[in-house]
Amino acid sequence: MNKILLINGPNLSQLSIRQPEVYGNLTLSDYENMAKEAASSFGLDLQCFNSESESEIIRVIHDANNKYEGLIVNLGALTHYSWAIGDALKGYRGKVIELHISNPAAREPYRQISVVASSGSGSIAGFGLLGYKIAVFALKELFEASGQ
């Protein structure tokens, strides 16, 4: 059974509170539960991690090499400026899906830049809750295509 780690970054713990006009009324638990249900239906094991700390996220990515075949990363604002996380992801040997609830390309100019996109297998943006399910499905397909 392939193991996946879902990493949610800063401010995602504030879903349903912060900017509901952009992010909706669902909580982080709602998003994580959707991902877990999708993973289970595809025969995958998904664990979740959330941190407001760049250094904790980097440590978890480093540790993931020995524990997970795939990562789904919704890094929030760190997407746009954390070269350190981008470097950590470059050192990760598994599959990586970059995920965004909103569509950064349709938002402020600084949000249209991702310093982690080049470290991943692909990006999913703008689908809200459905994006989490799509990300899990994408990893399942990538695992199957590579014979994992």
Burial class of residue 111 (count of CB atoms within 10 Å of its CB; 0-12, 13-18, 19+): middle
* 118, amino acid identity: S
E-only strand ranges, 3-137 = 3-8, 45-50, 70-74, 95-100, 122-125
Closest CA to 136 of 23, 25, 39, 43: 39
Active site residues: 23, 100
